[in-house]
Each structure stands twice: as structure tokens, then as C-alpha cells.
Structure 1
Amino acid sequence: MSAVDIFWWVAMPYLALGIFVVGHIWRWRYDQFGWTSRSTQLQERRLLKWGAPIFHYATFAAIGGHVVGILVPESFTSWLGISEHAYHLFAATAGTVAAVLVIAGVVVLALRRLLVPRVRSTTSPVDWATLVLLLVIILTGILPTAVNLVGAGYDYRTTVGVWFRGLFIGRPDVAAIAGAPLIYQIHATAAWVIWAAWPFTRLVHAWSYPLWYLWRPYVVFRSKRARPVTEPGTGGRKWRKIGVPY
């Protein structure tokens, strides 16, 4: 185990997590007006209508697959009575579908930024770097998944998963990840890089989902047109405007 391995698989993950946390705090304190996805819906809607939902929902599915595949140990699924063959078949099938949809979403959004002049003019170098990182993560994630679908593949749960879970208890197994195939190492490295870059990109909008809409009070509207209404005890009719917001 070399000093490079220690830096790459121990120091870099913790450094990326530190930048992720501190960077978000800094961004929130000093750049709240920039805390947005910088939507380009006004510039182009047709491609965005298809690309954005596909990318977002497929990404949620891929994240869920990573949680089950890496954070949940093999011993737990065995305890539930799920055989390794059944687990890998389900994980490979679901992972491939999710990855294909993520790629489709990224390709649509990338082509939209490349081919639509008004959208391209609002795209910064940071946006392009983020898209490239996402493509690297997606491609290096789907290739091993596809291999696992057609063959035995590589059991990442007993190596990469052990190293990753060890990071959260301060005892990462460097030998486990250092001996993993190169494509898994590239996948993990690109993931840490994008975690470090996250606070400085438009990805921060992921934490600004307007959940408060679920419990906000109703908005009452009145219209500008007047109509006659009969008020109790008046014996006559009065005109009242309705529909104008209070």
C-alpha cells in the first residue's frame, strides 16, 4: 500500500467531503442569489420537457441502487433470504435501465445546450465540466453493470463496498479499492471530484426543492369585475369586486 493509495483512497474522499460541506455553507452565505439552477426554460422548452424529467428520475433510481449496492452489506441481503444470483440479476437489470435513461437525459440536455444558440450562450465552462464529469460517472458505472448482466462480473460489494462503508467509521480498507478493476477506481474518483465541485455549480439547486409548497396557505383571489350581491339585512343589492388577490 503506497503513499499514493493512501492519498487517493483516504485523503481525497475526506477532502472532497470537507469541500462539499464548507463549500455549501460559503455559497449559501455569500451567493444566495446564485443558488439556482439558472433555468433556461424561456430559451427552449421542447427538449427540456423531455430531457430534464428523464435525467432527474433516472438519477434518483441510480442513487437508490448505489445505496442498496454499496451501503447495504452482503450479509444483510443474505439474512433476508436473497441469494447472490437473484440480487445481482435484479441489480444489473435495474441498474442498466436506470443508467440508460440517465445517459439519454444527459445526451438530450447536452445536445440542447450545444445546438440551441440561446441556451448555448447561457452555458458556462463550469456547466460543460459538470456535464463531462456526469458522463464519466455514468459510463464507468453502466459498463460494469452491463458486464454483470451477461456474466459473473466483479463482486464490488465485498471490495468497493467495504472500502466505502469504512470511510464513515474512519477505517477505510484501502487494499480493497486499490485492488479493484480500473473502471471502478475511475468511477469512484470521478464521483469524489463531482462531490467537491458540487457547491460551485448549479447542482446546488438539488437542495432547494420547494417542500414548503405542501403546507403553504391557500392564496385567495378576487376578480376585478363587479357583480351584484345581496347582503343580509340590507334589503337591497350592492356591488362587490371579487377575484383580486388580497
Structure 2
Amino acid sequence: MTVPTTWPDGTETLAAGAGTGAIVLWVVLPYLSLAVFVLGHVWRYRYDKFGWTTRSSELYEKRLLRIGSPLFHFGILVVLIGHVIGLLIPDSWTGAAGITETQYHVVAVTLGTVAGVCTLGGIAILIYRRRTVGPVFSATTRNDKVMYVSLTLTIALGLAATIDANIVEGGYNYRETISPWFRSIFYVQPDPNLMSQAPVLYKLHALSALVLFALWPFTRLVHMLTAPLGYLTRPYIVYRSRDAQLGNRPPRRGWERVG
């Protein structure tokens, strides 16, 4: 396999000097995952619009759901916000805003660890519920099982990477390697050499996330990208009750002839 290392004008690409394995993992796989993510959602909405749902199992069991669902959803929301800030906003921007690297590191690690623990605990409760409650387990498809495994693995690897690199090892500034690599994908100038410098757990977390994004359009996770906005503008539904009709004589026991 040969990989181009220069542009048509003769200048070197950012992939120059990277090995074939790094090119496949940090250039080919991200674009493949992104393409499946986008086109998969288009296909799903076009051909499976009525399947675009969470397939809620609330009617089967509520006690565990009331604990696990908020824990997971609020935790994953904080995790997503942290990823957006950490991956998309350059460290020079936060520095210009007066936020030092130490301040950013402390807040990111603290909130990220707490949110990660909540998310992992929430999904553990949801999986336990889905496995032990009969009707919920019966409604679980193979697709759901694959989704839960992929999602749990991604969350667990992310939490492990955060704890290992920033608490056990003393700190790792992923905004110098992983964040520029992530942004370079959207610049269409991917630099796999940056990811080659990242710790192993961060690499595994990134790879598991790419697999999750490729599976995303074909699972119940699609509900995250939709909201019932039509409910805000649709007309009210009028319900009419059937009142007791008054007759011209008192009711009598027994059958009455019809017609």
C-alpha cells in the first residue's frame, strides 16, 4: 500500500513520515466512520423513519429506570460538552480568555472524572435492568446488545484514560496532540503523527469511539439527534366525553328490542 505524502504542487502533506498503520488508523478509519455516520443517518431517515425511536421500555419497569436513566443522561451530557470544549477549542483561545493550563486541567479532570463515573454507573444500572427484568430483556434486540457493548467500552476506556494519564501518571495535555489531530480531520489535512504520540488508552478510546459512531445510525442512539419540535406548533387535540343521554322514560331491567 502506498500513501501519497505530497500535494500536487509538491508540498508535503501532514501524513508525511507516518507509517501505513498510522495512516489506516488515524486517517482512513476516521473518514470511513464519518461517512458511515452521515450517510447512515440519511439512509435511516429515508427508509426507516418509523423505526427512528428510543423504543422506550418504561411501561415494563420504572424503579431502576428512574435511577439509571437520569444518571446516564446527565453524565453523558457533561461528557459531551467537555469533549466539544477540549477537542474543538484550541488552548490558545482559553489562554486568551485568561484561563491557565493548570486551571483548565483541574476543572476538566475533576468534572470529567465525576461525569464519567456517573455515566458508567448509569449505564451499568440500565444494563442490569435490561438483563434482569423479563419483559425488558425480551424487548432487547441483538442490535441493542452490540450498541450497549460498544457504548460501555467507549465510556470505560475514556474514564480509564483520564484517571490513568491525569491522576496516576501526573497529567497529560491531550490538547497538544489529540485535539489538533481531531481538528485536522475536518480541515482535510489529517496528521496521524499527532495521534502516534498519544498514550495507549487514549488511542483505544478514540478507536472505540470511531466504531461507535459507525454503529450509531443503525441503533436507538439516533434519538439523540431529534426532538419533537412539531409538538410546539401542532393544534390542540380536543377530547370529548360521552355524556349520559336522558331518555323520555326511566330505565328498566332486562333486554330491550332494537329496531
Confirm whether residue 82 of structure 1 aligns to residue 99 of structure 2.
yes
What's the TM-score once normalised by structure 1's chain length?
0.86
How far, CA to CA, are the matches of 2:190 and 2:57 in structure 1?
42
Q: Which has the higher contact order (CA 8 A, sep 6+)?
A: 2
Tell me which residue corresponds to 1:204. 222
Shift in Å, 1:120: 1.0
Aligned residues of 1:144 and 1:153 also touching (Cα < 8 A): no
How far, CA to CA, are the matches of 2:125 and 2:232 in structure 1?
31
Q: Deviations over 1:117-161 (max 9, x none)?
A: 211111122211111111111111112323425663211000000
What's the TM-score once normalised by structure 2's chain length?
0.82
Shift in Å, 1:27: 1.2
Tell me which residue corresponds to 1:236. none
Deviates most, 131-140 or 187-196: 131-140
How far, CA to CA, are the matches of 2:50 and 2:240 in structure 1?
32
Q: Which among 136, 139, 152 is matched to residue 135 of structure 1?
A: 152
How far, CA to CA, are the matches of 2:169 and 2:27 in structure 1?
31
In the comparison of the two structures, how many residue pairs are matched? Answer: 227
Q: Which among 71, 89, 106 is matched to residue 54 of structure 1?
A: 71
How far, CA to CA, are the matches of 1:101 and 1:32 in structure 2?
32
Q: Which amino acid aligns with 1:124?
A: T
Q: Which amino acid aligns with 2:235?
A: P
How far, CA to CA, are the matches of 1:178 and 1:31 in structure 2?
39
Q: Note the 1:207-226 alignment, pairs <5 A.
A: 207-225=225-243
How far, CA to CA, are the matches of 1:110 and 1:224 in structure 2?
45
Q: Which among 47, 51, 61 is matched to residue 34 of structure 1?
A: 51
Confirm whether residue 180 of structure 1 aligns to residue 217 of structure 2.
no
Shift in Å, 1:220: 4.1
Tell me which residue corresponds to 2:177. 159
Q: Which amino acid aligns with 1:3?
A: T
Deviates most, 35-44 or 141-150: 141-150
Ranges in structure 2 where 5+ consecutive residues have no aligned partner: 1-17, 245-259
Tell me which residue corresponds to 1:195. 213
Quickly say closer, same or farther: Cα 1:219–1:212, change in 2 above 3 A: same
Aligned residues of 2:154 and 2:209 also touching (Cα < 8 A): yes
Tell me which residue corresponds to 2:138. 121
How far, CA to CA, are the matches of 1:120 and 1:223 in structure 2?
38
Q: Taking every aligned residue pair, what percent have the same amino acid on both sides?
A: 46
Compare the two structures and name the one with the higher strand fraction: 1
Tell me which residue corresponds to 1:244. none
Quickly say closer, same or farther: Cα 1:108–1:92, change in 2 above 3 A: same
Q: Deviations over 1:139-198 (max 9, x none)?
A: 111123234256632110000001001001011221110121110010000111111111
**How large is the Cα RMSD of the aligned pairs?**
1.8
Aligned with 1:153: secondary structure?
Answer: coil
How far, CA to CA, are the matches of 1:83 and 1:151 in structure 2?
20
